[in-house]
A and B are shown apart, each in its own frame.
Chain A
């Protein structure tokens, strides 16, 4: 039964992705829900919540208001709250399962609110039925559509970061490392969607020379910015200690004006399975091939396989049951991914490597997170490679 899940927790939802995207901005955010959705976000999907009092609220939705469609009550509550806080730069109203069921028109409510208070407002059709990457994409699209100014000649040497989120990168040094990587490669960081960005950065985002997409959740925006402003994008994130190939790809994309969604390493299915966020998983695979000669690696993801980033043999995992079947199939001898994957029966027979993922295991590991661009990660890559070569030797599967 594909909808039944025994071993893995529910993953971060679209509203959590949206909230985390808006966290750093000077906006007011309202999750339209009874309480649980907001508590899910602040307690389990936002490693930065402790120590930062951000104006992200629960609407306190009640059954009677949901049934009666009392949108005016929500607007009144927001107006009342606005009287006691600094004027936000925008207001975002996010959906959850109940507004989805009743078909609430969040964009319509936002327009009415904007008319009433004179603050740019928008609704996001998050549902709690999709995963975080959809929420991040929705939010980035709304912000760019609303605030980004037309391209005015461009700013040479400027690179945006797309898809940066604590749900993939946690709140350790990973975000800062990305900036250091780009700056060391000679770039000035433009807008860092969606960690560390300001509304000013978003307004100026169309002037970047190139976009670096560091997670799948940035792909939608990358495509839109390519279509609209012909800003080429490169997909990948620094992993381990050697980032030369990624830096070269960014340079090449700028020189040629061509998007580069993947590296050129020769890859094939093998006995190693990496399950997780697709861009990080791809980057690890590319590093394993380039640095360690391990080419037989399959990437699987629960978050919707982006075919532009996938090898033909990569796996779209629609459910936990699909992963259970894979793990028990005997096709793989090495498994890398969130530590909770090791709860799945059969995984004990595999060589398992932990790469915590906030969107999966939440606060269980978010402060013991891997620093992706680090010697620690390089050591992990070496160990995965060693295990991959060993299993290839034993089973004859592809190296």
Chain B
């Protein structure tokens, strides 16, 4: 089965969006180093990305090329892109090494020839790398969704290399994996350097990723990019998405060691600590009903299954778009815990369940807000948690959430304004 495929659990319905806090604490850059984003769309489309870039202090690496009604009618707005690129290269100092041209939903309908545009840009500006990124949620349930496309297009800028270095790339985690994860220390013990986009200080550091020995795919959204890189660059990948299951985490490290020809360090202390932390959280939460929201984890069905296996009382999961690799978790839930309800995220139904589930502990802000959940496990971090460290963080936060009531207003207030 092709693991990049995705499917929807529910029929289309009207969607209700919770207010979502936007994480703004402390990053100086998002995206590739020494790169620039050119957003080509009607003015309305880029608003949230632009405001987000102000909040993250990264507005100097973005420009907007507004498409007008007449551009749409004439159907040749891509003709404006080379001129815009020329102006960017003349205006932005130092000139960006790479430019991502971001297009939106209307592009899917206008039939823009992206390949031809890319070739034209590369020919006209040979010193600059280009990629085209589609942010087109009208295709999110039928084609690879936008975050998957974003990974594919970013890594399409890597060139083939005959050199192989003792390094692994982290693919698919949009925020970087936090350095507290044992992944880094274990890799160090194995003599492996860990490369991820957010740690690249220069565009050359990014290009060096093509010289790594292995792509470690940490979320389903990185899988298509890894498959593309395997085909085009001969760079093998290991699909080991974030999980809270001790045996799966251990198996991922075992696989990394095998695939890179390294000896696996002893994991027993990590495993033992994780078991202790899970038991402590289980004891503290007791029968507290738990809701696992898709805004709280990349793989909420997998998380729900794991929590149930650990003895937690999961009542509800929200998820709609799932990748084939995660279908087994869905079927396991249906067969073993049919009492656990699965609802689509952004469903107005959640609001009507608020009385019934108000005392719950919700992992993820979106559903917690709609349910007015008493306890919230939030992830305000601009980091991704991985490995045994992820288990530690989740259990610690579940216990902490039990000890206090969710303050949604405080979280929203902290997400507004400019980055401090």
A residues with CB within 8 A of B:
1, 3-7, 9-16, 30, 33-40, 42-45, 49-51, 53, 55-64, 66-67, 73, 77-78, 80-81, 84-85, 96-98, 100-102, 127-129, 131, 340, 343, 361-368
Determine whether the beta carbon of A44 is less than 8 Å from that of B48: yes
Does B29 count as interface, using CB distance less than 8 angstroms? no
| Size class of the B contact interface (CB-based, 8 Å) | 35 or more
CB-based nearest A residue for B344: A60
Determine whether the beta carbon of B12 is less than 8 Å from that of A73: yes
12 A-B pairs within 8 Å (CB atoms) are namely A1-B80, A4-B66, A6-B63, A36-B105, A42-B17, A43-B17, A55-B16, A66-B138, A97-B45, A98-B106, A102-B109, A129-B72
Determine whether the beta carbon of A9 is less than 8 Å from that of B68: no
Chain B residues whose CB sits within 8 angstroms of the CB of A53 once the complex forms: 16, 351, 370
CB-based nearest B residue for A52: B19
How far is A150 from B84 in the complex, measured between Cα atoms in Å? 52
Determine whether the beta carbon of B44 is less than 8 Å from that of A40: yes
Instruction: Specify which of B45, B110, B141, B143 lies most central, judged by the most chain A CB atoms within 10 Å of its CB.
Output: B45
Q: Assuming A4-B87, A102-B109, is B14 touching A97 (CB within 8 A)?
A: no
Q: Assuming A34-B136, A84-B348, A129-B42, is B80 touching A3 (CB within 8 A)?
A: yes
Determine whether the beta carbon of B140 is less than 8 Å from that of A101: no
CB-based nearest A residue for B86: A1
4 additional A-B residue pairs with CB within 8 Å, beyond A57-B348, A128-B42, A128-B44: A10-B50, A97-B41, A97-B45, A98-B109
Determine whether the beta carbon of B109 is less than 8 Å from that of A66: yes
Determine whether the beta carbon of B91 is less than 8 Å from that of A364: no
Q: Assuming A4-B84, A35-B137, A36-B104, is B44 touching A97 (CB within 8 A)?
A: yes
How far is A3 from B136 in the complex, measured between Cα atoms in Å? 21
Chain B residues whose CB sits within 8 angstroms of the CB of A80 once the complex forms: 13-14
Determine whether the beta carbon of B12 is less than 8 Å from that of A77: yes
How far is A138 from B105 in the complex, measured between Cα atoms in Å? 24
How far is A50 from B44 in the complex, measured between Cα atoms in Å? 21
How far is A51 from B84 in the complex, measured between Cα atoms in Å? 41
Determine whether the beta carbon of A129 is less than 8 Å from that of B348: no
Does B337 count as interface, using CB distance less than 8 angstroms? no
> In chain B between 44 and 101, which residues have their CB closer than 8 angstroms to a CB of chain A?
44-48, 50-51, 54-55, 59, 63-69, 72, 80, 83-84, 87-88, 91
Over the window 1-35 of chain B, the binary record of Cβ atoms lying under 8 Å from chain A Cβ atoms (1 yes, 0 no) is 00000000000111111011010000000000000
Does B338 count as interface, using CB distance less than 8 angstroms? no
Q: Assuming A3-B65, A364-B55, is B16 touching A62 (CB within 8 A)?
A: no
CB-based nearest B residue for A37: B44
Instruction: Specify which of B22, B43, B417, B418 lies most central, judged by the most chain A CB atoms within 10 Å of its CB.
Output: B43
Chain B residues whose CB sits within 8 angstroms of the CB of A368 once the complex forms: 417
Q: Assuming A15-B44, A98-B109, A102-B109, is B83 touching A1 (CB within 8 A)?
A: yes
Chain B residues whose CB sits within 8 angstroms of the CB of A35 once the complex forms: 15, 137, 140
Q: Assuming A42-B19, A98-B105, A363-B51, is B72 touching A10 (CB within 8 A)?
A: no
Determine whether the beta carbon of B19 is less than 8 Å from that of A10: no
> In chain B between 106 and 144, which residues have their CB closer than 8 angstroms to a CB of chain A?
106, 108-110, 135-143
Does B409 count as interface, using CB distance less than 8 angstroms? yes
- Least Cβ distance of A343 to chain B in Å? 7
How far is A128 from B12 in the complex, measured between Cα atoms in Å? 23
Determine whether the beta carbon of A129 is less than 8 Å from that of B68: yes
Chain B residues whose CB sits within 8 angstroms of the CB of A67 once the complex forms: 109
Determine whether the beta carbon of A64 is less than 8 Å from that of B105: no
Determine whether the beta carbon of A84 is less than 8 Å from that of B417: no
Chain A residues whose CB sits within 8 angstroms of the CB of B91 once the complex forms: 6
Contact of B42 among A12, A30, A73, A127 (CB under 8 A): A127
Determine whether the beta carbon of B109 is less than 8 Å from that of A43: no
Chain A residues whose CB sits within 8 angstroms of the CB of B136 once the complex forms: 34, 63
Determine whether the beta carbon of A1 is less than 8 Å from that of B135: no
How far is A1 from B82 in the complex, measured between Cα atoms in Å? 11
Contact of A101 among B109, B137, B412 (CB under 8 A): B109
- Least Cβ distance of B70 to chain A in Å? 10
Lowest 7 A-B CB distances belong to which pairs? A13-B44, A128-B44, A9-B50, A34-B137, A34-B138, A35-B137, A57-B14
How far is A363 from B19 in the complex, measured between Cα atoms in Å? 12
Does B416 count as interface, using CB distance less than 8 angstroms? yes
Chain A residues whose CB sits within 8 angstroms of the CB of B66 once the complex forms: 3-5, 10
Does B420 count as interface, using CB distance less than 8 angstroms? no
Determine whether the beta carbon of A81 is less than 8 Å from that of B416: no
- Least Cβ distance of A38 to chain B in Å? 6
Chain A residues whose CB sits within 8 angstroms of the CB of B352 once the complex forms: 84
Q: Assuming A42-B17, A43-B20, A364-B418, is B47 touching A97 (CB within 8 A)?
A: no
Instruction: Specify which of A3, A6, A11 lies most central, judged by the most chain B CB atoms within 10 Å of its CB.
Output: A3
Chain B residues whose CB sits within 8 angstroms of the CB of A129 once the complex forms: 42-44, 67-69, 72
Does B165 count as interface, using CB distance less than 8 angstroms? no
How far is A83 from B102 in the complex, measured between Cα atoms in Å? 39
CB-based nearest A residue for B418: A364
> In chain B between 331 and 360, which residues have their CB closer than 8 angstroms to a CB of chain A?
346, 348-349, 351-352
How far is A97 from B16 in the complex, measured between Cα atoms in Å? 20
Chain A residues whose CB sits within 8 angstroms of the CB of B67 once the complex forms: 3, 129
Chain A residues whose CB sits within 8 angstroms of the CB of B22 once the complex forms: 43, 363
- Least Cβ distance of B16 to chain A in Å? 6
CB-based nearest A residue for B41: A97
CB-based nearest B residue for A15: B44
How far is A61 from B87 in the complex, measured between Cα atoms in Å? 35
Contact of A364 among B68, B143, B417 (CB under 8 A): B417
Chain B residues whose CB sits within 8 angstroms of the CB of A59 once the complex forms: 14
Instruction: Specify which of A51, A62, A63 lies most central, judged by the most chain B CB atoms within 10 Å of its CB.
Output: A63
